[in-house]
Amino acid sequence: MPATITEREGESAGSAIITNDFVIKFANVNGSGSASANSLFAKCVLRMGVPIAARNIFPSNIQGLPTWYEVRVSEAGWLGRRGGVDLMVAMNPQTWAEDVRSIGPGFYLFHDTTKPLPPSMARDDIHVIGAPLTRICNETYADPRQRQLFKNIMYVGALAHLLGIPTDTVERLLQEEFAAKPKLIDANLHAFHLGRDYAQSSMAPIRLRLSPADKVGDRIFVEGNSACALGAVYGGATVCAWYPITPSTSLAEAFTAHCKALRTDSESGKAKYAVVQGEDEIASIGIVIGAGWNGARAFTCTSGPGVSLMQEFIGLSYFAEIPAVIFDVQRGGPSTGMPTRTQQSDLLSAAYASHGDTKHPMLFPADPTECFEMGALAFDLADRLQTTIFVMLDLDIGMNEWLCAPFAWEDGKRLDRGKVMTRDDLGAGIDFGRYLDVDGDGITYRTYPGAHPNKGAYFTRGTSRDRYARYSEEGAVYTDNMQRLLRKFDTAKSLVPAPVRRDAARRTPYGVVYFGSTTPAMHEAIDALERQGRHVNALRIRGFPFSDEVFDFIRAHEQVFVVEQNRDGQLRALLINEGGVHPTRLTPVLHYDGTPITARFITAEIAGQMKSIETMPVSD
């Protein structure tokens, strides 16, 4: 059994070598070109077959503010954020105090020794190491920009020596990265060796080591946003309308890039897709709804503030029954909140978006693999259910590269366009009522504009209308329609992804429900709790509306922890509201400071809040 965080907790200075299980954090200045160096480091570790979890902690700023890159190295494969730092690469004087404070006792501070560390920062319980990066750079490079950029590669060189990264791994990665610009390969390699040589000649060995393992397998290292975008391509999306907003911007940009590669007509060179940067989120969702109404698969990607702006249109999509897909890459709210921090705090505003009685299906991917799958599935669901489908990811999944299972697709899979009456159907004289529930599942047939010369045309509107799309404010007609929409929502239960259950080794009255980016930390916490003799059954929710299985699980446990990353327990509120669950059964475990939730936090919360339950549950 590999080491887990519980064993490491409270560990202080020692002399034992720690292999493949530590956290290294890079503190940089935004805009200094550190990202590619840090990413190079992360990839080196992966190429050694050692799993990592990497997270950007960045400001809402382009240049000058502090930014961090945290790499958790875990041969055991724990991909949640651990908390704590074992090696701090402190390249930003502005955050020195904070950075030095976060280092665990007995661990390491790496800094640019060109300038001595201010005595006020000194801690006698940590090891201070470093290299005169600026001095070497200034001696080597004349151009100020090069001095800045190569300083980053130099510390990677130094770390490579200290931790044990083979040089050929670095070489291969640089060759792949700069295949198109061979000049840069040598320049980077040169800087890398400058750092490495210095460390070799002048630095003492440290206790942290990387050692080749075979624990990565065929897994890929990718951002959730890019995965969602790729899912949208495989899901047949042809129209993307979006408005730049952190943390969703890279989703639209990735869609454009993927489409360019995969959706350009080989003969004509023309695009089998259209991407429009809207003037705002309202226009973006408007374009999506216009395209969806007209039979194209369309989506927008946004974050909380965008969802707020889209409310009116989402209501239209619900009531007029127009397919749309919204990727909500959640960030810290409310208002502008913490634009570059993560949260799961849009559940309520998405689930019940818009005025009046509305409910919208949501999908909760837990990693980029699911981002891809659900990104494609969302379009089938939108067409099947003729409504807005939310894919609820967050900044943590969206903007960080995660180690996850490779994307998989079966050739021959067809787009499910849902209930559409064709020209032939209409020509055959089949009765067409746009809001006529012929199958009893609440889903009605639609026609695409222009389908038939004289049949199937109807007037789409956000006002109340009868089964044949004729304007009506008659109470009975209105309630008939609203009841059918409920039936449709009920049908959605069986269409959204089913929850995933993980049972404890022993029968237990304790359960936990969680979703999305909480998943890796949750798995680690369950493991830690088990070591403490605390057994919990776990249910990962993947879709809304909740299936019966979710409520059966809650009923089968005396105390159910609802772990989520917001202040108000939004998933818990949804469970109470939609399933009539008694609030006392659901114990909230809430993490909402904007950083990704950690296993340490969950473990402590659950251990602390566990009620003493004498009796085992009767049913399971």
Partner 1 sequence: MTYITKPKFRHPELEQNARGFTRRDYEGKVSTLCAGCGHDSISAAIIQAVYELDLEPHRIAKMSGIGCSSKTPDYFLGASHGFNSVHGRMPSVLTGANLANRDLIYMGVSGDGDSASIGLGQFAHSIRRGVDMVYIVENNGVYGLTKGQFSATSDRGSRSKRGVVNHDAPIDMVALALQLGATYVGRSFSGDKHQLVPLIKGAIAHHGAAFIDCLSPCVAFNNHEGSTKSYDYVREHNEAVNFLDVITGRAPIKLDQEAGALAIVEQHDGSTLRLRKIHTDYDPSDRVGAMAYLTERAAAGEIVTGLLYVDPNAEDHHDYLNTVEAPLNTLDSEALIPSASALDKINASLR
Which of positions 240-269 make contact with partner 1 (CB under 8 A)?
A: 241, 262-263, 265, 268-269
Q: Three-state SS string across 285-342, please?
A: HHHHHHHHHCCCCEEEEECHHHHHHHHHHHHHHHHHCCCEEEEEEECECCCCCECCCC
Q: What angle do CA 557, 351, 578 make, to 5 degrees?
A: 35
Q: How far is the CB of 139 from partner 1 (least distance, A)?
A: 37
SS3 94: helix
C-alpha span between 248 and 395 (Å, rounded): 8
C-beta of 75: minimal distance to partner 1 in Å? 17
Region binding partner 1 by CB under 8 A among candidate stretches 91-99, 191-199, 291-299, 584-592: 291-299
Q: What is the C-alpha separation between 213 and 2, in angstroms, rounded?
A: 13
Q: Which is nearer to partner 1, 212 or 462 (CB)?
A: 462
Please give the residues from 412 up to 471 whose contact with partner 1 meets the rule CB under 8 A: 413-415, 447-454, 457-463, 471
Question: Number of residues in contact with partner 1, rule: CB under 8 A?
Answer: 73
Q: How, if at all, do strands 66-74 and 21-29 pair?
A: antiparallel
Task: Report the residue count for the chain.
Answer: 620
* Binding window for partner 1 (CB under 8 A); candidates: 160-168, 285-293, 498-506, 578-586: 285-293
Site residues for partner 1, 350-409, by CB under 8 A, read: 406-409
The strand pairing partners of 455, in sequence order, are none
Residues 468-487 that bind partner 1 (CB under 8 A): 471
Contact region with partner 1 (CB under 8 A), list: 92-100, 186-194, 215-223, 550-558: 215-223
- Which of 253/441 has CB closer to partner 1? 253
Under DSSP, is residue 121 helix (H, G, I), strand (E, B) or coil?
helix
Smallest separation, CB 48 to partner 1 (Å): 12
Residue 565 CB, nearest approach to partner 1 (Å): 26
- Write out the two tokens for 427: 């020509």
| Residue 180 near partner 1 by CB under 8 A | no
**DSSP class of 577:** H
Residues 499-558 contacting partner 1, CB under 8 A = none
CA-wise closest residue to 253 among 234, 274, 275, 237: 275
Angstrom distances, CA of residue 219 to CA of 52, 363, 401, 489: 11, 23, 12, 36
Q: How far is the CB of 232 from partner 1 (least distance, A)?
A: 11
Using CB under 8 A, pick the residue from 85, 187, 254, 289 that binds partner 1: 289
Report the residue number, 426 or 528, with the smaller CB distance to partner 1. 426
In the bound complex, what is the minimum distance in angstroms from residue 323's beta carbon to partner 1? 11
What's the angle, vertex CA 421, arms to CA 418 and CA 423, rounded to 5?
A: 140
Among the candidate windows 24-32, 282-290, 333-341, 345-353, which touches partner 1 by CB under 8 A?
A: 282-290
Each residue 131-160 as x (binds partner 1 by CB under 8 A) or -, in order, gives ------------------------------
Least distance CB 290 / partner 1 (angstroms) = 3
Q: Give me the half-sphere count of Cα atoms (radius 13 Å) on the Cβ side of residue 552.
A: 7
Q: Cα separation of 236 and 41, whole Å?
A: 35
Beta strands at 103-112 and 127-131: parallel, antiparallel or unpaired: parallel
Closer Cβ to partner 1, 452 or 535, answer by number: 452
SS3 270: coil
Q: Are 607 and 529 in contact (CB under 8 A)?
A: yes
Whole-number minimum distance, CB 152 to partner 1, in Å? Answer: 22
Task: Give 603-609's long-range contacts (Cβ < 8 A, gap of 24+).
Answer: 603/5, 603/6, 603/525, 603/528, 603/529, 603/532, 605/561, 605/563, 606/512, 606/525, 606/529, 606/534, 606/536, 606/561, 607/529, 607/532, 607/534, 609/561
Tell the smallest beta-carbon distance from residue 515 to partner 1 (Å).
24
* CA dist., res. 74 & res. 157, Å (int): 21
Stretch that binds partner 1, among 125-133, 276-284, 501-509, 517-525 (CB under 8 A): 276-284
Exposure letters 378-396 (e unless 16+ CB within 10 A, then b): bbbbbbbbbbbbbbbbbbb
b (16+ CB within 10 A) / e for 554-580? bebbebbbbbbbbeebbbbbbbbebbe
- Which of 101, 115, 272, 531 forms a contact with partner 1 (CB under 8 A)? 272
Site string for partner 1, 599-618 (x = CB under 8 A): --------------------
Nearest-approach distance from CB 272 to partner 1, in angstroms = 5
We find the least distance from the C-beta atom of residue 45 to partner 1, in angstroms, to be 13
* Cα distance between the two ends of the chain: 29
Strands 324-330 and 388-394: parallel
Regarding 274 and contact with partner 1 (CB under 8 A), the answer is yes
Q: Point out which span in 142-150, 187-195, 270-278, 526-534 binds partner 1 (CB under 8 A).
A: 270-278
Single out the residue of 5, 222, 512, 550 in contact with partner 1 (rule: CB under 8 A): 222
Q: Which 30-59 positions form the footprint of partner 1 (CB under 8 A)?
A: 46
Query: Could you tell me the two tokens for 235?
Result: 């899901």
- Binds partner 1 (CB under 8 A): choice among 24, 44, 230, 602: 230
Binding span for partner 1 by CB under 8 A among 100-108, 148-156, 295-303, 389-397: 295-303
Give the shortest CB-382-to-partner 1 separation in angstroms.
14
Q: Give min distance, CB of 257 to partner 1, in A.
A: 11
Residue list 298-357, contact with partner 1 (CB under 8 A): 298, 312-313, 316
**Out of 126, 154, 228, 239, which residue is the one contacting partner 1 (CB under 8 A)?**
239
- The answer to whether the bond into 545 is cis (omega within 30° of 0) is yes
